[in-house]
Structure 1
Amino acid sequence: MKKNIFVIGLNAFNLDKLKRLRGAENYEFHGLIDPAKVYDTEIFDIPGMLAEAEEKLRAFDGSIDAIVGYMDFPVSTMLPILCGKFGVRTTSLESLLKCEHKFWSRVVQREVIPDHIPGFTAFDPFDDEALSRIGEAGLSFPFFVKPIKSSGSRLGFRIDNPEDFDHAIERLRADIGTIQEPFNFVLDQAEIPEEIRKVDGGFCMAEQVIGGRQCTVEGYVYNGEVVPYGVVDSIRYPQVLSFFYYMYPSRLPPNVQDKMGELTKKVMSHVGYDNSAFNIEFFWDEVQDRIWLLEINTRISQSHCDLFEKVDGISNQQVTVDLGLGQRPDMPSREGDYKVGAEFFYRVFFADATVTRAPTPEEIEAAAAKVPGTFIRPQAHEGMRLSELPEQDSYSYAIACIWMGASKQSTLLWGYERVLKYFNFEFTDIEE
Structure 2
Amino acid sequence: MKNVFVPGLTELQRAEISTVEIPGGLRLHGLLDYDSLVKAEEFDFDELLDRARTELDAFDGTVDAIIAHWDFPTSVIVPILAAERGLPAPSLESVLRSEHKLWSRILQRESVPECVPDFCAFDPFDPNALDSIDLDFPFWVKPVKAHSSQLGFEVHDPEEFATATETIRAEIGRIADPFDQALARVTVPEDVRVAGGRTCLAEQIVTGTQAAPEGSMAAGEYRVHGVFDMRKDATGHSFAHLDYPARTVPESVRDTMIEVSERYLRHVGYDNGCFNSEFMWDADTGKLWLIEINTRISQSHSDLFVKVDGTSNHAVAIDVALGRTPEMPHRKGRFAVAAQCMVPRYEDGVVTRVPDESQIEALRRRFPDTVVNIDVAPGERLSELPNQDPYRYKLATLYLGAADHDELEQRYQDCLEALPFEFEEVD
TM-score (normalizing by structure 2): 0.97
Amino acid at match of 1:107: I
Q: Partners of 1:258 and 1:300 in 2: how far apart?
A: 19
Amino acid at match of 1:69: A
Q: CA deviation at 1:150?
A: 1.2
Which stretch shows the higher mean deviation, 190-199 or 250-259?
A: 190-199
> What is the match of residue 261 of structure 1?
258
Alignment equivalent of 1:422, drawn from 414, 418, 424: 418
Any idea what SS the aligned residue of 2:316 has? helix
Q: Partners of 1:228 and 1:430 in 2: how far apart?
A: 47
Q: Is the 8 A contact 1:370 1:419 kept in 2?
A: no
Q: After superposition, what is the alpha-carbon deviation per residue over 1:264-303, rounded to whole angstroms, capped at 9, x for unaligned?
A: 1111111110110111100011000111000111111111
How many matched pairs? 426
Matched, 1:345 2:342: yes
Q: Is the 8 A contact 1:101 1:148 kept in 2?
A: yes
> What is the match of residue 246 of structure 1?
242
Q: Is the 8 A contact 1:212 1:285 kept in 2?
A: yes
Q: Is the 8 A contact 1:370 1:418 kept in 2?
A: no
> What is the match of residue 119 of structure 1?
118
Amino acid at match of 1:179: I
Matched, 1:174 2:170: yes
Q: Partners of 1:308 and 1:152 in 2: how far apart?
A: 21
Amino acid at match of 1:419: C
User: For 1:165-244, what aligned pairs fall within 5 Å after superposition?
Assistant: 165-244=161-240
Alignment equivalent of 2:365, drawn from 351, 354, 369: 369
Q: Partners of 1:80 and 1:103 in 2: how far apart?
A: 21
> What is the match of residue 57 of structure 1?
56
Q: CA deviation at 1:97?
A: 1.0
Q: CA deviation at 1:365?
A: 1.4
Q: Partners of 2:422 and 2:58 in 1: how far apart?
A: 47
Q: Partners of 1:228 and 1:271 in 2: how far apart?
A: 18
> What is the match of residue 326 of structure 1?
323
Any idea what SS the aligned residue of 2:213 has? strand
Q: Is the 8 A contact 1:217 1:228 kept in 2?
A: yes
Amino acid at match of 1:57: L
Q: CA deviation at 1:25?
A: 6.4
Residues 45 and 362 (structure 1), Cα distance of their counterparts in 2 relative to 1, 3 Å cut: farther
> What is the match of residue 72 of structure 1?
71
Gaps of 5+ in 2: none
Q: Partners of 1:389 and 1:6 in 2: how far apart?
A: 29
Q: Is the 8 A contact 1:148 1:204 kept in 2?
A: yes
Q: CA deviation at 1:45?
A: 1.9
Which stretch shows the higher mean deviation, 41-50 or 407-416?
A: 41-50
> What is the match of residue 300 of structure 2?
303
> What is the match of residue 403 of structure 2?
407
What root-mean-square deviation, in Å, do the aligned CA atoms of Structure 1 and Structure 2 show?
1.3
Q: Partners of 1:32 and 1:116 in 2: how far apart?
A: 37
Residues 388 and 320 (structure 1), Cα distance of their counterparts in 2 relative to 1, 3 Å cut: farther
The percent of aligned pairs where both chains have the same amino acid is: 43
> What is the match of residue 47 of structure 1?
46
Amino acid at match of 1:99: S
Q: Partners of 1:247 and 1:8 in 2: how far apart?
A: 26
Q: Is the 8 A contact 1:215 1:281 kept in 2?
A: yes
> What is the match of residue 147 of structure 2?
151
Residues 427 and 310 (structure 1), Cα distance of their counterparts in 2 relative to 1, 3 Å cut: same
Q: Is the 8 A contact 1:145 1:156 kept in 2?
A: yes
Q: Is the 8 A contact 1:367 1:420 kept in 2?
A: no
Q: Is the 8 A contact 1:181 1:201 kept in 2?
A: yes
Q: Partners of 1:23 and 1:177 in 2: how far apart?
A: 41
Q: CA deviation at 1:368?
A: 2.6
Q: Is the 8 A contact 1:216 1:233 kept in 2?
A: yes
Which stretch shows the higher mean deviation, 377-386 or 34-43?
A: 34-43
> What is the match of residue 87 of structure 1?
86
Q: Partners of 2:242 and 2:25 in 1: how far apart?
A: 32
Q: After superposition, what is the alpha-carbon deviation per residue over 1:53-77, rounded to whole angstroms, capped at 9, x for unaligned?
A: 1111112121111111210111001
Q: After superposition, what is the alpha-carbon deviation per residue over 1:100-158, rounded to whole angstroms, capped at 9, x for unaligned?
A: 100000000101111110011110001111111113xxx11111011011121111011
Q: Is the 8 A contact 1:228 1:264 kept in 2?
A: no
Q: Partners of 1:231 and 1:380 in 2: how far apart?
A: 30
Amino acid at match of 1:74: P
Amino acid at match of 2:43: F
Matched, 1:384 2:380: yes
Residues 24 and 317 (structure 1), Cα distance of their counterparts in 2 relative to 1, 3 Å cut: farther
Q: After superposition, what is the alpha-carbon deviation per residue over 1:222-268, rounded to whole angstroms, capped at 9, x for unaligned?
A: 11122122110011111330111100111121111111111111111
Q: CA deviation at 1:199?
A: 4.4
Any idea what SS the aligned residue of 1:201 has? helix
Alignment equivalent of 2:313, drawn from 298, 310, 316: 316
Any idea what SS the aligned residue of 2:114 has? helix
> What is the match of residue 37 of structure 2?
38
Any idea what SS the aligned residue of 1:303 has? helix
Residues 142 and 42 (structure 1), Cα distance of their counterparts in 2 relative to 1, 3 Å cut: same
Amino acid at match of 1:270: H
Which stretch shows the higher mean deviation, 9-18 or 20-29?
A: 20-29
Q: Partners of 1:176 and 1:275 in 2: how far apart?
A: 31
Q: CA deviation at 1:42?
A: 3.3
> What is the match of residue 109 of structure 2?
110
Matched, 1:279 2:256: no
Q: CA deviation at 1:422?
A: 2.0
Q: Partners of 2:363 and 2:416 in 1: how far apart?
A: 7
Q: Partners of 1:166 and 1:107 in 2: how far apart?
A: 26
Q: Partners of 1:363 and 1:18 in 2: how far apart?
A: 27
Amino acid at match of 1:383: G
Which stretch shows the higher mean deviation, 190-199 or 321-330?
A: 190-199
